[in-house]
Structure 1
Amino acid sequence: MRVLKRLGAVGLLSGVLSACAPTGPHNCKLYISGVMPIINESGSPIVRAGINGHPAALIVDTGATTSVIGSAYISPFGLEVMGPVGTMTGVGGSELVQAVRIKSLEMGPSSAKNFAVIAGGKFGGHADGLPVVGLFGQEFLANYDTIVDVPDHVVQLVRTEDCSFPTPGWEGAVHKIPVTHSATDGLKTRLQIKINGKPAEAILDTGASSTLVTMSAARRAGVTQAMLNNDPVMPGYGVTRDPIKIYRHFFSTLEIGDIVFRNIRLDVVDDLSESDVLLGSDFLKHYRVWISRDDYLYAQHDKDIPAADAGQSTASQP
């Protein structure tokens, strides 16, 4: 999801930074700025939030340039309308949006005050009894390394200092996957993948509940329209809630770095606005990922997480 006109200054989440005990020859330190439990059992990770004192839930969306609050919540949450800012484009369509000011946002132990976000799109449903009202996007996430740990149901925002190992606190086998982040691209996490052995460009998009592949990328991977006509078809919806047609097709292989999925079902759509593939939260079902702000993404399968490490690695306090 992108917004053609971006907002100016945005407040940072602030909170008490918790430093892990120094380790190793470089006195490695891990600072934890946010620990947010994932409150849903499947799909995109959803976390609790307090918006101007109102309990709510937000989707953690690494594919969103900026955070978004649904237009329907402007009045109920007492958001100050600042005026139109441009067009929001996502899966399925575009929509004119406006900027609104949030007086206070609480995310676990951290908070932000008096900052602007986009109001637009349509959100619905509940998670753990809370209304899902919007997206938590890159203007916050990109200030930190982001750990999305679906197997252990937690999202963490961290910083490291003087660490020779890129994922301090993680033990066991870890996959190192090259990625890029560009300020001109909203700091999205882009990576090169292969589908049926053919290269494709992907964006890691935790806001997408399933991985989406464009028709052109599917064709490069050897998929014909005749094949798709034999696949199950279902409607899909993006943030604007405009329906799109999805073909559910089995591919021989999906390669993400040195991780290889075989005989995997992916969702084929007509087109995407920013890449060949949106690598969705289905990829994360059995992985925890550390989105570093350098040139790599680190992923660890739940079977490779030591029993003593599960549920406490970076969530531990000194």
Structure 2
Amino acid sequence: MLAVASICALPLSLSAQQTATIPANTCQLHADATLPLTESDGHYLVDVEVNGVAQTLAVDTSAAKTTLTPEAADALNLPVDTSKAETLAGVGPRADPEYPRIVASLKLGPAQWSDLRVPTFGAHAFTAYNGVVPAGVLGANVLSRYDVELDFPHHTMTLYTAQNCLGRFAPWQGDYQSYSPIYTSQHRFIMQMALNHHPILATLDTGAMPSLVGHYGAQRVGLYADTLQLDPQKTGHGLNGAAISLAIHRFDTVQIGAREFQNVKLEVSDATFPADMLLGMDFLKWRRVWLSYSTGWVFMQLDAGVTPHGPATAGWFDWANTPGTEQTAAIINQGGATRPMPIAQFSTHSHMTYSSVPHIVQQSRLQPPPAGMVPLNALPSFMGR
């Protein structure tokens, strides 16, 4: 096992006078920082400081750990930790083990992390868009310090400290959706969805552009090679740029929570990962997304009046730029009974991103789970696998 990296968070609290006037059981939200997001080739980037030097990282909610490109690590003269090599895996072939680099200080907003072991991944993993090339990935080991509001239409990320908050507590005006996903010990949010009324599990993945249905998800829906070969074909890219064959399949219905969308085109691959699907930026970029690492809940609010900028994606986002149809029926299994969906254990050799951005798969956590949350350390295997 890797040595556990320490975390040094700056004091973030209400003043004594404020605290004294707030009942103990009242939800307290404190916005610690609002940071601009820059869109680059479908990824959303945020500025951090690494050893006192400004760097730009891609926000990736399914990455278990923050990573850097070799070029960025070399430019910062980061020392190598030779005590244990770490293996990266992704959509596509597994990368060779490499030793992580040591980051003395990483600052995001008002908080600082010290003595981080930061893996590096394949050179030139990112392409430039609008002149911006990310130096790496900002993963869940850092993001989970906060409740995080990702306002993609307005290009902002707000970091909140949440205390005593339960239920629907997002400070938003108007209607929004609440989700109670599976929250894993690696700080991933696994959404319950349905494709053509077949229940599946999807990792909420801001590093996936666009969404991707994997091998297990296709099997659950009854899609096999003989059917998919009739669909339009294309090539995608996985870990370190590895080519992946894709079929563009039209689903009659896609259900997320109580919302159902009709006539949806999604990419389907025979790639395997622990969840059935990656719910990516083709859906998320139209929305304000609240990731409550303190409670394990997710809130979303559509902002269809704002058109996100970025590379041409005509036709791909039409389905996601609508509120969908409200459904009274819960997501059910084929037998007609509602049930919590099972999920394969997220092992130390798993990650779920469909893009050229890999994720650390042997990792140590920087902090314990949020207060009141029980880590899902022994999730059951997929049924039928």
For the residues of structure 2 that align with 1:164 and 1:181, how far apart are their CA atoms?
Answer: 15
> 1:180 Cα shift?
1.7
> 1:42 Cα shift?
5.8
Query: Structure 2 vs 1, CA of residues 148 and 10 (structure 1 numbering), >3 Å: closer, same or farther?
Result: farther
For the residues of structure 2 that align with 1:225 and 1:254, how far apart are their CA atoms?
Answer: 21
More strand by share: 1
Query: Structure 2 vs 1, CA of residues 18 and 76 (structure 1 numbering), >3 Å: closer, same or farther?
Result: farther
> 1:151 Cα shift?
1.3
Matches for 1:82-231 after TM superposition, within 5 Å: 82-83=81-82, 84-95=84-95, 96-122=97-123, 123-126=125-128, 129-163=131-165, 166-183=168-185, 186-231=186-231
For the residues of structure 2 that align with 1:149 and 1:108, how far apart are their CA atoms?
Answer: 16
> 1:24 Cα shift?
9.1
For residues 162-213 of structure 1, the C-alpha deviation after alignment (integer angstroms, 9 at most, x for no partner) is 4465334212112111212232xx1211122101100111111111111110
| 1:43 alignment partner in structure 2 | 42
| 1:62 alignment partner in structure 2 | 61
RMSD, aligned CA: 2.8
Give the partner amino acid of 1:213.
V
For the residues of structure 2 that align with 1:18 and 1:152, how far apart are their CA atoms?
Answer: 27
Native 8 Å contact 1:36 1:47 kept in 2: yes
Gaps of 5+ in 2: 307-385
For the residues of structure 2 that align with 1:61 and 1:18, how far apart are their CA atoms?
Answer: 29
* Among 6, 11, 22, the residue aligned to 2:7: 11
> 1:255 Cα shift?
0.9
For residues 60-79 of structure 1, the C-alpha deviation after alignment (integer angstroms, 9 at most, x for no partner) is 11111111111232211211
> 1:109 Cα shift?
4.9
Native 8 Å contact 1:203 1:275 kept in 2: yes
Give the partner amino acid of 1:275.
A
Native 8 Å contact 1:14 1:33 kept in 2: no
Query: Structure 2 vs 1, CA of residues 13 and 100 (structure 1 numbering), >3 Å: closer, same or farther?
Result: farther
Query: Structure 2 vs 1, CA of residues 102 and 250 (structure 1 numbering), >3 Å: closer, same or farther?
Result: same
Native 8 Å contact 1:205 1:279 kept in 2: yes
Bigger mean CA deviation after superposition, 121-130 or 271-280: 121-130
| 1:308 alignment partner in structure 2 | none
Q: SS of the residue aligned with 2:98?
A: strand
> 1:230 Cα shift?
3.2
For the residues of structure 1 that align with 2:151 and 2:11, how far apart are their CA atoms?
Answer: 21
Bigger mean CA deviation after superposition, 113-122 or 146-155: 113-122
| 2:285 alignment partner in structure 1 | 285
| 1:255 alignment partner in structure 2 | 255
Q: SS of the residue aligned with 1:114?
A: strand
Q: SS of the residue aligned with 2:282?
A: helix
| TM-score normalized by the length of structure 2 | 0.69
Native 8 Å contact 2:6 2:113 kept in 1: no
Give the partner amino acid of 1:46.
L
Report the identity percentage.
Answer: 28
| 1:73 alignment partner in structure 2 | 72
Native 8 Å contact 2:234 2:246 kept in 1: yes
Native 8 Å contact 1:149 1:289 kept in 2: yes
Query: Structure 2 vs 1, CA of residues 198 and 165 (structure 1 numbering), >3 Å: closer, same or farther?
Result: closer
Native 8 Å contact 1:39 1:127 kept in 2: no
Native 8 Å contact 1:18 1:33 kept in 2: no
How many equivalent pairs are there?
A: 298
For residues 236-259 of structure 1, the C-alpha deviation after alignment (integer angstroms, 9 at most, x for no partner) is 223422221121222111111012
For residues 1-39 of structure 1, the C-alpha deviation after alignment (integer angstroms, 9 at most, x for no partner) is xxxx555224355476688x9999765421223422111
Q: SS of the residue aligned with 1:290?
A: strand
For the residues of structure 1 that align with 2:68 and 2:272, how far apart are their CA atoms?
Answer: 22
Native 8 Å contact 1:57 1:127 kept in 2: no
Gaps of 5+ in 1: 306-318
Q: SS of the residue aligned with 1:115?
A: strand
